[in-house]
């Protein structure tokens, strides 16, 4: 492995939208996530609709005119 070409890994704090934070290692200075193990439906048992950038509405709007 070549020396001095790899980015430095450092311990950082990752913060979720729900407010939960945890320590991890990364080459970035900070990480902000949309879902973590404290709010993910698989772990909590509660269903939560995650709509990234309005994709559901965009899909419904696009294909609404094709309904028969």
Please state the pTM of the whole predicted model.
0.52
Q: Which domains does the chain have, with CATH numbers?
A: 10-64 (4.10.80.400)
Q: How many CB atoms lie within 10 A of CB 28?
A: 9
Give the CB-side neighbour count of residue 38, counting CA atoms within 13 A.
11
Dump pLDDT digits (tens) for 8-39: 999 999 998 888 899 999 999 989 988 887 77
As a whole number of angstroms, the distance between CA 45 and CA 6 comes to: 40
């Amino acid at each position: 492995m070549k020396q001095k070409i790899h980015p430095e890994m450092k311990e950082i704090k990752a913060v979720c939208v729900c407010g939960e934070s945890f320590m991890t290692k990364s080459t970035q200075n900070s990480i902000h996530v949309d879902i973590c193990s404290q709010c993910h439906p698989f772990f909590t048992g509660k269903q939560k609709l995650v709509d990234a950038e309005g994709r559901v509405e965009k899909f419904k709007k696009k294909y609404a005119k094709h309904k028969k």
